[in-house]
Amino acid sequence: MLLGLGIGVRAEVVDEPEFASLPRQEDNAWCSITPYPQQSEAGEAISLYPRQSEAGWLIGPSIGIVWGRAREIVFDVSGVQNQNDYLSELIWELEKVFIFGIESHWRGKKMNGLEMKFNFAIPNVPVGKMDDYDWYFTNRDWSHWSQSHVKLRWGFIFDFLYEEVLVSSGRFKLKLGVGYHIDWWAWKDKIADSLYSTVVRRTGRRFPDKINHAIGDKFRDRDNILPVGVNGINYWAMYHAPLLTVRGSFEWDVITLGVLGRVGPVLGISKDHHLRRYEFGSKGVYFYDLVFGGPWVDATIEVGFKITDRVSFLLRGGFAWLNETRGYTILVPSNKGPTVVWGNAGGLAFQRIDVRTLFLWRLGQ
């Protein structure tokens, strides 16, 4: 009787229209849980939210701040036994330099991408100082020094990058690429302070040389020898670097994290105009450096946020470093005197860090 009652109740439930459409579990129960329609719609909306890996063009402006320094070095190749490696060194500062730029990113449907970036600094603004050192004595530290206030004449950074996806696993991507990079900076100084040594020049004497009190040499005995406020040196340096790149990134629906590393050889070119070296003419003397080697090494850490289906905001931190690299120095007097070339005598080095923000708009559909 109980068995029959149970069967009858079950039959009545099945016959009720409002229960007939409920799904049954394998144990024939009708109380399985189904998602509400609103939950399904929300999940679909999240999955359709555009991700950084989608194909298309993106373009937008950037703004940032740069700190760094550039060094120009003259190495001792005189053959004189010397405990110092340098004859001269200029150190130009970049302190809180504001840079603006524009970027264009293209992402293809076949796991490749292209990036072009152009940044420029505000010209004719104070950017720090310049220290100028000279070594005239083999058995001493620097013998001549001057310090100047510095204004930036110009500053440009250009990047081109092509990438292919090597590994794509879930939210992670590993990309390899090739690129080309240019840093180009220029300064002008105004002398603020100086400290020189007395060096008596005699026929046949070679520099660097040991200090000789007998003929009148004195060490760091002449302060404020240069007129304050005078423009003494104008300088620019350009660094060209073909690069191999590797990028790792994680991509979520609204956030991306990425790290980009690049390395390659450098072709460095600089022009150093000493306006007050009147022994070479009324307009001074020009020194040109040409170096090749490096390496150039840089890295970027990036965090991106999707704001809408077309707009993204990115925050970046970057570091770049050029190892001290030697090459040729060319001396060109302004009085049409003979040009002199020294091999393995010139050197360039560079480093900077930067923080930037960027907005990107997706173009097209």
Is 278 domain-assigned?
yes
Q: What is the pLDDT of residues 320-344, one digit of tens each?
A: 999 999 999 999 999 989 999 999 9
Is 4 domain-assigned?
no
Domain count of the chain?
1
Cα of 217 vs its chain's centroid, Å: 45
- What mean pLDDT comes out for the span 314-324? 97
Is 2 domain-assigned?
no
Q: What is the pLDDT of residues 198-248, one digit of tens each?
A: 999 888 888 899 999 999 999 999 999 999 999 999 999 999 999 999 999
Is 49 domain-assigned?
no
- Reduced to 3 states (helix: H, G, I; strand: E, B; else coil), residue 2 is helix
Write down the pLDDT at residue 54: 63
Is 281 domain-assigned?
yes
Write down the pLDDT at residue 30: 42
Place of tokens 């970046």: 316
Q: 337 is in which domain, residue-wise?
A: 58-362
- What mean pLDDT comes out for the span 187-208? 92
**Dist. CA 67–CA 351, nearest whole Å:** 9
Q: What is the pLDDT of residues 84-97, one digit of tens each?
A: 889 999 999 999 99
Q: What are phi and psi of 314, to 5 degrees?
A: -130, 145
Write down the pLDDT at residue 82: 83
Is 1 domain-assigned?
no
Q: Which two tokens stand for residue 47?
A: 């999955």
% the chain with pLDDT above 70: 85
Q: What is the pLDDT of residues 262-303, one digit of tens each?
A: 999 999 999 999 999 999 999 999 999 999 999 999 999 999
CATH of the domain at 64: 2.40.128.90
Is 48 domain-assigned?
no
| Whether this model's pTM surpasses 0.85 | no
* pLDDT at position 29 over 80: no
Is 43 domain-assigned?
no
Q: In terms of DSSP H, where are the helices of the chain?
A: 2-15, 17-20, 37-47
Mean pLDDT of the chain: 87
Q: What are phi and psi of 19, to 5 degrees?
A: -105, -10
- What mean pLDDT comes out for the span 116-123? 97
Closest listed residue to residue 152, CA positions, set 237, 25, 42: 237
